[in-house]
Amino acid sequence: MQVRVLNGPNLGRLGVREPDKYGTATYAQLVATCHAAAGELGVDVAVRQTDAEHEMLGWIHAAADDGAAVVLNPAAWTHTSVALRDACAMLTAPLVEVHLTNVHAREPFRQHSYISPVAAAVIAGCGIDGYALALRWLAGHAGR
């Protein structure tokens, strides 16, 4: 199965970005974790990050056209973007929303997600392991 792992704004700064909240694992380590999990699971994965919302929308449109599943960390767009939610609503394969931190234990504005109502599953608070968990669930979910 094809899975796109898509990361939103500021996630390219992992490792130096507020390490007390997001940990010291770098974005390169996040990418390596996804490739390792996908290799074990026999999943065809592409991992990307952008700070540009129009680029993310294009990637979601392409996943919809290709019938690819998506693991999405929408980062701050989680809490702000109706456009991203509308794009995600067009996906035909499952979408898993992932957050490194437990957004429900943080500021009130992080406790609302525009994306969760159109996601099949949500993983929050497991750090970069959440991506491997998402890929494992998608690999088991395929064909159900």
- The residues annotated as belonging to the active site are 22, 99
| 78 lies in the site for ligand DQA, by CB under 6 A | yes
Q: Is 26 annotated as a binding residue?
A: no
Q: How far apart (Å, rounded) are the C-alpha atoms in residues 46 and 27?
A: 14
The residue range among 26-34, 56-64, 83-91, 98-106 that interacts with ligand DQA, by the rule CB under 6 A, is: 98-106
The residue range among 33-41, 57-65, 70-78, 88-96 that interacts with ligand DQA, by the rule CB under 6 A, is: 70-78
Burial of 117 (0-12, 13-18, 19+ CB in 10 A): exposed
Helices assigned H by DSSP within the chain? 19-22, 27-41, 53-66, 82-88, 129-141
Residues 54-74 as b or e (16 or more Cβ within 10 Å = b) = eebbebbeebbeeebbbbbbb
Q: Measured from the CB of residue 21, what is the shortest distance to ligand DQA in angstroms?
A: 8
**Binding to ligand DQA in span 7-36, by CB under 6 A:** 10
Q: Measured from the CB of residue 63, what is the shortest distance to ligand DQA in angstroms?
A: 19
Binding residues for ligand DQA (CB under 6 A): 10, 73, 75-76, 78, 99-101, 103, 110
